[in-house]
Amino acid sequence: MLRHLDTFERALTYTLLFMLAGVVLLAIVELAWIIGKDIMSSPIFLPGIEELLGLFGQFLLVLIGLELIHSVKVYIEHRVVHLEAVLAVAIIAVARKVVVLEPKELPEGTLLGIAALALALSIGYFLVQRSRREEDPTVPKRAQ
């Protein structure tokens, strides 16, 4: 029975990985489309600040997808959730939110909350990195 559940879990994980890869591919195609559209519709082929912020947000979204793919691959290989990768995804997601935010439209204290979240995630990432290096000094800064 456990062998069948293990096979089922593996199949679901691979399905998730391929679906995620498809979503990331679509995000890259959309990013290329947006870049082309913004360049062609802008005077002298230079997008404005709003367009650039949108591009950066879309670019960070692609990076989040790539990190998620990495996390699923690590899970498939080692059967553990890679905390470092999860924290990296969260940090990139917060950075993306900061890039696409309109600070004038936010309620009071929201920016402080986002800053606290970014700081907490960064400290967590640092501590995970440091504990990995203390456990095994030969471990590179980011396992591939």
Decide: pTM greater than 0.85: no
Q: Enumerate residue ranges in the chain where pLDDT < 70.
A: 42, 45, 137-144
Task: Round to whole Å and give the CA distance between 139 and 5.
Answer: 33
Residue type, 83: L
Predicted pLDDT of residue 69: 92
